[in-house]
Amino acid sequence: MVAAISPSELKALEASLLNASGNVPLHNRFRALFTLKSLKNEDAVRIISEGFKDPSALLKHELAYCLGQMKQTSALSTLESVLKNPTEDPMVRHEAAEAMGAISSTESIPVLTQYLSDPNRSVRETCEIALAKITWDNSEEGKKHTVTGNSGIELTYTSIDPAPPTSGLLSGQPKPEDTTGKSIDALRSTLLDIQLPLFERYRAMFALRNIGSAAAVDALAAGFSDDSALFKHEIAFVFGQLLSVHSVPSLIKVLQDGNESDMVRHEAAEALGGIATPEVLPHLKEWMVREDSPRVVRESCEVAIDMWEYENSDQFQYANGLDGAQVAVSAVGA
C-alpha cells in the first residue's frame, strides 16, 4: 500500500501507466496501475481514466477493474462512457459495467438497465449482475453486511466482488457443516443451474471460494463447462484469488483451448501467474509467443510471467510501480 506520494512520484506513475516514452513494458504499466489503485484518490482516478485511449483491450479492461475497486463515484462518468461506446472491445465494456456494480451507486441503475439488451452477451450478463448487486447492497441483508463489515475468512480477499457469497458464508470462519461434501454439493448444484439468475450462481461461486478446499475447487472447475464466457472468466478469476495448486490442471486446459473465449483464456493465464508453480511457466511462455495466440492472451501471459517472477522473488509487494515509473519519467525527460 502506498500511503502518500510526492507530485514527482505521481507524475512518474502517470508517465509509466500512459506509456509516455512509448517503450514502457506492459507489465511495468500494470504495476504502475495497481500502485495508483492503492492511492484511492482523485488524481489516481484522473490518470487511470486517461488510459482508455490505449489500444490494448487487456490494459483497458484492467483500468476499468481498478476504477471499480477504488470505489470512487467520480469514476462513474468514465465507466459509463466506456460502456456506452459500441466500438470498444466487449471485454472492456463488460468490465466497466462490473466496475459500476462495485461502486454500487444507484445513479448507475438507468444506464445499466439500458444495456441489459446489448448485442453482446457478456455485456448484457454483466449489467444484469451489476444491477442485482446494487439492489442487494441496498437491501436489509446488504446494509447489515456493510455495517458489520468484513471479518474472518473474508479478510483473505480484499476485492469488491461482483456478488456476495451465499447467505451463511457472508462473514466469519465457515461452520463445520459448510466444509462437508453435502454443503459443497449444494453450492455446486446452484453454481451449475443455468435456470437460476446469474447473481445467485455467482453467490455460490464466491461461497465455494471462501470454503477453498480441493472439493470446492473441483466444484468450481465444473463451471468451465458452461456456455457463458462471462461466467467462466469469473471462475478463472476466483482461481487466481484462491491460488490453489489444485486448480492448475483446469486452468492450463483453458489456456490451451484455442476454441475458448479470449476473455476466459486471459483470466486463466493471469491466475496461473499468481499461483506461480514451476509447471505453469512453460505454458505461459509458449502462449506469449505463439503466432496463433490472440493479442489479449499474449499480453496476459506477459503480465502473468511478471507475476510468476514476483511470486518467486523476495520483492515485498507487487504494486511497486514507482520503481519502474522513475525509469519511465527519465526516459521522457520529465
DSSP code per residue over 18-77: TTTTS---HHHHHHHHHHHHHH-SHHHHHHHHHGGGSS-HHHHHHHHHHHHHHT-GGGHH
* Mean pLDDT along residues 54-79: 98
25-136 and 199-315 share one fold: yes
DSSP per-residue string spanning 304-330: HHHHHHHHTS--S-S--HHHHHHHHHH
Cell numbers describing residue 70 = 477504488
Report CA 137 to chain centroid distance, whole Å: 20
pLDDT band per the 50, 70, 90 thresholds, residue 157 = confident
Q: Answer yes or no: is 95 a known binding residue.
A: yes
Enter the pTM of the model.
0.89
pLDDT band per the 50, 70, 90 thresholds, residue 143 = confident
199-315 has which CATH code? Answer: 1.25.10.10
- Evaluate if residue 210 carries a pLDDT over 90: yes
Domain boundaries, the chain: 25-136, 199-315
Q: Answer yes or no: is 128 a known binding residue.
A: no
- Evaluate if residue 154 carries a pLDDT over 80: no
Q: Answer yes or no: is 94 a known binding residue.
A: yes
Q: Answer yes or no: is 234 a known binding residue.
A: yes
Higher pLDDT, 168 or 209: 209
- Evaluate if residue 169 carries a pLDDT over 60: no
- Annotation: CATH topology of 25-136: Leucine-rich Repeat Variant (1.25.10)
What are the DSSP E strand ranges found in 173-268? none
Question: How many whole angstroms separate alpha carbon 144 and alpha carbon 150?
Answer: 11
Q: How high does pLDDT run on average in the chain?
A: 90
Cell numbers describing residue 12 = 512518474
- Evaluate if residue 329 carries a pLDDT over 80: no
Q: Answer yes or no: is 279 a known binding residue.
A: no
Q: Answer yes or no: is 27 a known binding residue.
A: no
Q: Answer yes or no: is 283 a known binding residue.
A: no
C-alpha distances (whole Å) from 20 to each of 15, 43, 45, 328 are 5, 17, 18, 7
pLDDT band per the 50, 70, 90 thresholds, residue 314 = confident
Q: Answer yes or no: is 145 a known binding residue.
A: no
The 10s digit of each residue's pLDDT in 4-60 is 789 999 999 999 999 999 999 999 999 999 999 999 999 999 999 999 999 999 999
